[in-house]
Structure 1
Amino acid sequence: MLNTWLTSRFNLDLPLVGAPMAGVGDGRLAGAVSAAGGLGMIGIPPGAPVSWIVEQAAIAAGSGRPYGIGLLAWALADDPAHLEAVIAARPDLVSVSFGPYAEVVEPLRRAGITVTTQAGTTDEARAAEQAGVDLVVARGGEGGGHGRADVATLPLLQNVLDAVRIPVLAAGGIATARGLAAVLAAGAEGAWVGTAFLGCVESTLSEPARGRVLAAGEGDTVHGRVFDLAQRLRWPAEYGGRALRNAFYDRWAGRERELAADEQAHAELAQARRSGDFDTAYVYAGQAVGMVREPRTAADVVAGFTAAEDLLTRAGSR
């Protein structure tokens, strides 16, 4: 059995966290990951009703195993009730990332909640340690969804492990037991995994979106701000999004300033999301998407990571 700080802290069977994916991972997916022996997380979208947070937290908690919630730091100013609802739900782990988060660390910790944040540079990891988080996620540019694309996972992980004393998880491009074994061998306490769960039947992805994920290859993602600007979302500029490449992205990449003021493009994207037109609408995914080849349950995905122990044993015997 793979024993790390992460498994000991949360009584997990495997040092694996299912990343909080807003709009994809709700209480059902989080609960399924947790029930399978990892730690599942709910991703809270900006503007989500408090009632939704309460409902999804109850669903995740129904597994009887530890679970977590991911908050967007930049959105908390508009939705302060999100923090109150999360504290009231008492999840085992809360991630607050992508914007000013230092002021919410202590209230969460006082409530007995373990706190983390995602860092895309070594400086961000150092700042996280100074802010008092319990652990930090070294998130490389390969990762799906939002975050920096400045540094790839492996060089970032090595630098962060040398720079901080708190536990470190690795994120970005980890979708199989080989990836988990690699980051554990480097010194990470576990892996933070999102894209590997996109094909899961428990995710909230529509069937057309899931079909795009299953058909995508490792080179079919792009990183940028096109989809955020078209939606008028106030994501900080340094945190672009990695998504599957499509015609809408190709049309607007390099024309972001124009896009930010184009109301027709805004309406076009909104309509495409409603109709499921993914030549226009987005599907966030990381560079590991080529390893997601068929629909699976979350339990099957988690079980696939257990082979990391054998891989590490074999590597140690060489």
Structure 2
Amino acid sequence: MVSAPMAGWSGGGLAGAVSAAGALGMIGVGSATPVGWIPEQAKLARGRGPFGFGLMSWVLESRPELLEAVLAEEPAAVSLSFGDPAPFVGRVREAGAITMSQVQDAGKAEAAVGAGVDVLVAQGTDAGGHTGQVGTLPLLQRVLEIGERAGKPVLAAGGIGTGRGIAGVLAMGASGAWIGTRFCATVESTGTDEAKRLILQADETATVHTRVFDLVQDIPWPEEFAGRAIRNSFSDRWHGHEARLVEQRSSVSAGFEAARGDYSEDFVYSGQAAGLIDDLPPAGELVDRMMAETEARLRACGALLGGRPC
């Protein structure tokens, strides 16, 4: 199990708690993250088990110092996603870290293999935050085929919020699960209390896959990656009217910035697994619970086969 590196949610406290419980905790580095934030978060995670960092390849093209700051902290793993990982894989390997990459279609999976990435993460559109257009189950099946041919382990991401989900992707052949939204709703995540409350209240139909929050902030995310967020007044007003939003961005942006923290306008990125969440536990307790659920479901799967391993 890996806790996904979610900018704004996944700091060193969350990563350390996840790693201490026997999973792999990841720290999320955003496009505007100050370099000095990286060692601060590594200090919180260090000494509690292996941990990693998640970086965005499109950001590293203009901010390579983020990668150097991450590697200075000697992480066990570095995720290079959302853009071409090839320019950065060699440097990460030189530093002794495992490379991982979230892929949203078969073409990106093949490109990651060609770049020498160690671990593929099949990220379905069910996931929260920025992702592609393909659902987790069909994508995972395609990426598993690619991973098997290349001898690469594959993790599944998107819509996994319980041990049942983990057991399901393990039975399909994945080596593990990459879990985001479920870890947003933990004590240690750095999201605001109100954002966590909205995730707890949301069901599986409560999100929208949209570019409007990037457009209003003029964040140059590649167009192919929209962000899945909890629907609100802002997304209802502007989703489907992106061209008009860009035309009026100057005036709309001023109102958006003034409403920061008011989540009828401000955004909360969340995946469709929000509908599976009804509590706010410590992250270590959540890891233990989900692993127990996973084991129980795998044992039940074995029973279907007359007691043979699933």
Shorter-normalised TM-score: what interval? over 0.9
The counterpart of 1:143, out of the listed 124, 127, 143, is 127
The counterpart of 1:153, out of the listed 136, 161, 170, is 136
User: Deviation digits for residues 234-277 of structure 1, max 9, x if unmatched?
Assistant: 0000001000000000100111122123212212222222xx20
Alpha-carbon distance, 1:316 to partner: 1.1
Aligned partner of 1:268: which letter?
Answer: G
TM-score by length of 1: 0.92
Conserved 8 A contact 2:85-2:112? no
Alignment match, 2:239 = 253
The counterpart of 2:5, out of the listed 12, 20, 27, is 20
The counterpart of 2:274, out of the listed 248, 266, 289, is 289
Q: Secondary structure at the match of 1:316?
A: helix
Q: Secondary structure at the match of 1:31?
A: helix
The counterpart of 2:169, out of the listed 183, 195, 208, is 183
RMSD: 1.0
CA distance in 2, matches of 1:78, 1:135: 25
Alignment match, 1:110 = 94
Alignment match, 2:307 = none
Alignment match, 1:90 = 74
Alignment match, 2:111 = 127
CA distance in 2, matches of 1:51, 1:180: 35
CA distance in 2, matches of 1:191, 1:67: 16
**Alignment of 1:310 onto 2:296:** yes
Conserved 8 A contact 2:55-2:78? yes
CA distance in 1, matches of 2:279, 2:300: 28
Alignment match, 2:251 = 264
Alpha-carbon distance, 1:79 to partner: 1.5
CA distance in 2, matches of 1:189, 1:295: 27
Q: How does 1:38-57 map to 2 (within 5 A)?
A: 38-57=23-42
Greater mean deviation of Cα atoms: 290-299 or 104-113:
290-299
CA distance in 1, matches of 2:243, 2:74: 41
* Identical pairs, percent: 49
Alignment match, 2:210 = 224
**Alignment of 1:215 onto 2:201:** yes
Aligned partner of 2:144: which letter?
Answer: L
Q: Secondary structure at the match of 1:317?
A: helix
CA distance in 2, matches of 1:269, 1:39: 35
User: Deviation digits for residues 32-78 of structure 1, max 9, x if unmatched?
Assistant: 11111110100001121111011111211132x00110001111122
CA distance in 1, matches of 2:257, 2:62: 21
Conserved 8 A contact 2:27-2:52? yes
Q: Secondary structure at the match of 1:191?
A: strand
Alpha-carbon distance, 1:202 to partner: 0.6
CA distance in 1, matches of 2:254, 2:60: 26
Aligned partner of 1:297: which letter?
Answer: P
Q: Secondary structure at the match of 2:279?
A: coil
Unpaired runs of at least 5, structure 2: 305-310
User: Deviation digits for residues 63-102 of structure 1, max 9, x if unmatched?
Assistant: 2x00110001111122111011011111001001101221
Unpaired runs of at least 5, structure 1: 1-15
CA distance in 1, matches of 2:18, 2:252: 37
CA distance in 2, matches of 1:137, 1:131: 14
Conserved 8 A contact 1:172-1:286? yes
User: Deviation digits for residues 146-190 of structure 1, max 9, x if unmatched?
Assistant: 0112x1111111111112331100000001000000000000000
Q: Secondary structure at the match of 1:141?
A: coil
CA distance in 2, matches of 1:222, 1:36: 32
Aligned partner of 1:233: which letter?
Answer: I
Alpha-carbon distance, 1:208 to partner: 1.3
Structure 1 stretches of 4+ with a deviation exceeding 3 A read: none
Aligned partner of 1:98: which letter?
Answer: F
Alignment match, 1:162 = 145
Conserved 8 A contact 1:47-1:79? no
Structure 2 vs 1, CA of residues 266 and 62 (structure 1 numbering), >3 Å: closer, same or farther?
A: farther
TM-score by length of 2: 0.94
Q: Secondary structure at the match of 2:160?
A: coil
